[in-house]
Chain A
Amino acid sequence: MNLKHLKAILLWIIIQFLVVPFAYAEITLGSLPAADANLDLALPETPAIYALGLTPESVSRPASPRALVLDLLNGVDKSGNFQTGIALATAPYLLFAGDRLTINEYRKNEDFSWIRLAARTQLSVATTKGTDSDDKAVRAALGFRIVPYDLGDPRQNRELDSCFATIQLPQAPKQGEDLKERENKYNEGAFKTQVQQAAQVCREKHEKLYWNASAWELGAAPTWIQKEGSKDQTKWGGATFWTSYAYGFEHFSTLKETSQLVLGFRYELNNQTPDLKNAGRYVQQDTALLGAQLRLGKPNLHVSFEGSYWRIAPKGTKVQDAYRVSLAPEFKLPMLDNLWFQVSVGGTGGRGLDDRLFIMSAIRFGNGNTIDISQVADMLRNQSVTH
């Protein structure tokens, strides 16, 4: 293990320790009882985590998935309870049949392709454990997400082809050169660095154009719960179904580079949630959510306005109509290549004792993904290459 990996692990450990004090801090704001201040490091856009309620946004942002991602989680759920856990997300088609999937096959049939649909289908498993006295349950979810439509899919962008094609291979071998020399020259490492940097420049150009592109996703996630955390008490924890549509204003020249509107609907069926009036107990409820999120800005700096309406139907008691609004500036930290900071300020209403103002802060790696050791290591490695 080299020095860069040690630095990466150290940074990751420090960040993990910072989570707890921030997550438990409470401040009083206005006439409402309390607000949570959370440093929420783990905000994966994996379907299973979205179903478990560990994402800060009520509305899921559609995007094409990656082949295999492992996320470590530390965060606060929508009830304000601290959760830790792990999630594994994969695009099964890419994982099991991707070795023979060429880019030309992926792009066949512009309008609709079963192969593209399969490659954009994500399966994820996640498990979380509550650490508060109000909620010590272990939860697990199995999430499916399909993205039938994504104008921001980088694999379909032919401008990226042209940009990648300009990256030069090392000079062709000359007469007199032998194969062994050729191999040594190729493995020196300088070419690898050059290719990685040049390819990254191409991808960043693409992101500037398509960060807010239109896309549509559908998702479903069954969940299971162990209320006391022992194996013999595993029970069905309900299921979550959702759909989100992001509109990138592609037909409006003044908005297409600066704005995105995301509309989302989510239905949680037979969800088990902590009973606020009886610590350690759970109530079963159905929840319907209709939300909208408007993102304004540039790729590296944008503000999200989110509003959502919740219809909560606990078993045996009256239906509640609630709402949640938030404002969340999000920006890329200037000295670090791929680290994002987000502060979300908002409030919930219509839920009586559970009404609250909240301030949530988040550190994100990449495009809405969580931080893990390999990513921090990559970030530091890229830093050392750049500087």
Chain B
Amino acid sequence: MQDKPAQLSLSGPNAFVNVTIGQAQFGKFRLILWDETGRNPQVLTEQTNVDNIPDFVDLGSPSDVNRKILQWEGFVTSYGNGPGQNYSIIIEVKQAGQVVPDGYIPDPGALDGGAKPFFGAVRLFAV
């Protein structure tokens, strides 16, 4: 899990999470919201980056998600064969269209073996 929590504004509008699968690669992912103790999972979405579902999800009001943990998991795979392929997964927690402090979580790298699972989490903190 990321060390620093993503800081939401308690008085601000609903928080959103945006998933960007870059390098023009394919990705399938699931977003899960856990309670503040890391239990009671609630699956928010399971989708790919090529379906017609937008790659962002409404998390709810800052007071509802305060101290909860947002977790993402999935895999990214290259369309082309062979080495020399990269991947990029960017998670952005937003409020009013702006990325909140510590809400930008990039995960780029070389795509060894043509496909790679990914996993990450961040605590949401409303102040």
Which A residues contact B (CB, under 8 angstroms)?
Answer: 64, 66-69, 89, 94-95, 98-106, 119, 154-155, 157-158, 160-161, 164-165, 167, 169-170, 172-180, 182-183, 186-187, 191-192, 195-196, 199-200, 203, 207, 338, 365-367, 369, 374-375, 378, 381-382
A-B contact pairs, 5 of them (CB 8 A): A67-B84, A69-B84, A160-B79, A165-B28, A183-B119
Q: Flag if B113 contacts A381 (CB, 8 Å).
A: yes
Q: Flag if A66 contacts B21 (CB, 8 Å).
A: no
CB-CB under 8 A from A173, the residues of chain B are 32, 41, 43
A64 CA / B24 CA spacing, docked (Å): 13
Q: Please report which residues of chain B, range 38-76, place their CB below 8 angstroms from some CB of chain A when the two chains form the complex.
A: 38-41, 43, 46, 48-51, 55, 69, 71, 73-75
Q: Which residue of A lies closest to B119 (CB)?
A: A186
A187 CA / B117 CA spacing, docked (Å): 9
Q: Flag if B85 contacts A187 (CB, 8 Å).
A: no
Contact of B23 among A67, A191, A195 (CB under 8 A): A67
Q: Flag if A157 contacts B121 (CB, 8 Å).
A: no
For the complex, is B5 an interface residue (Cβ under 8 Å from A)?
no
When A98-B88, A172-B30, A195-B77 are in contact, do A104 and B83 touch as well, CB less than 8 Å? Answer: no
A366 CA / B84 CA spacing, docked (Å): 12
Given contacts A99-B88, A375-B83, 12 further A-B contacts (CB under 8 A): A66-B82, A67-B86, A94-B23, A104-B49, A164-B48, A167-B28, A173-B32, A182-B73, A183-B121, A203-B114, A338-B82, A367-B81
A108 CA / B24 CA spacing, docked (Å): 12
Q: Flag if A179 contacts B121 (CB, 8 Å).
A: yes
Question: Which of B28, B85, B113 has its CB near the most chain A CB atoms (within 10 A)?
Answer: B113
CB-CB under 8 A from B38, the residues of chain A are 178-180
When A164-B28, A195-B117 are in contact, do A102 and B83 touch as well, CB less than 8 Å? Answer: no
Q: Flag if A199 contacts B115 (CB, 8 Å).
A: yes
A182 CA / B41 CA spacing, docked (Å): 10
CB-CB under 8 A from A196, the residues of chain B are 113-115
Question: Which 4 residue pairs are nearest across A and B when measured between Cβ atoms?
Answer: A66-B84, A179-B38, A99-B88, A154-B79
A274 CA / B19 CA spacing, docked (Å): 56
Interface size class of B (residues with CB under 8 A): 35 or more
A92 CA / B73 CA spacing, docked (Å): 29
For the complex, is B127 an interface residue (Cβ under 8 Å from A)?
no
Contact of A186 among B24, B43, B73 (CB under 8 A): B73
Q: Which residue of B lies closest to A105 (CB)?
A: B24
Which B residues contact A (CB, under 8 angstroms)?
Answer: 1, 20-26, 28-30, 32, 34, 37-41, 43, 46, 48-51, 55, 69, 71, 73-75, 77-86, 88, 90, 106, 108, 110, 112-117, 119, 121
A157 CA / B81 CA spacing, docked (Å): 13
Q: Flag if B23 contacts A101 (CB, 8 Å).
A: yes
CB-CB under 8 A from B86, the residues of chain A are 67-68, 94-95, 98
Q: Flag if B32 contacts A374 (CB, 8 Å).
A: no
Q: Flag if B21 contacts A103 (CB, 8 Å).
A: yes
Q: Flag if A195 contacts B115 (CB, 8 Å).
A: yes
CB-CB under 8 A from B73, the residues of chain A are 169-170, 182, 186
CB-CB under 8 A from B43, the residues of chain A are 172-173
Q: Flag if B80 contacts A169 (CB, 8 Å).
A: no
A178 CA / B106 CA spacing, docked (Å): 24
Q: Which residue of B lies closest to A166 (CB)?
A: B28
A86 CA / B13 CA spacing, docked (Å): 55
Contact of B90 among A100, A164, A183 (CB under 8 A): A100
CB-CB under 8 A from B114, the residues of chain A are 196, 199-200, 203
Closest beta carbon of chain A to B97's beta carbon, Å: 16
Q: Which residue of A lies closest to B79 (CB)?
A: A154
Q: Flag if A177 contacts B41 (CB, 8 Å).
A: yes
Closest beta carbon of chain B to A72's beta carbon, Å: 13
CB-CB under 8 A from A199, the residues of chain B are 77-78, 114-115
Contact of B82 among A172, A174, A369 (CB under 8 A): A369
Q: Flag if B23 contacts A99 (CB, 8 Å).
A: yes
When A179-B121, A182-B71, A369-B82 are in contact, do A101 and B24 touch as well, CB less than 8 Å? Answer: yes
CB-CB under 8 A from B39, the residues of chain A are 176-179
A170 CA / B46 CA spacing, docked (Å): 11
CB-CB under 8 A from B108, the residues of chain A are 99
When A105-B24, A169-B73, A199-B77 are in contact, do A187 and B83 touch as well, CB less than 8 Å? Answer: no
A177 CA / B41 CA spacing, docked (Å): 8
Q: Flag if A378 contacts B83 (CB, 8 Å).
A: yes
A179 CA / B73 CA spacing, docked (Å): 12
A191 CA / B116 CA spacing, docked (Å): 9
Q: Flag if B84 contacts A68 (CB, 8 Å).
A: yes
Contact of B24 among A68, A102, A367 (CB under 8 A): A102
Closest beta carbon of chain A to B45's beta carbon, Å: 11
A160 CA / B106 CA spacing, docked (Å): 26
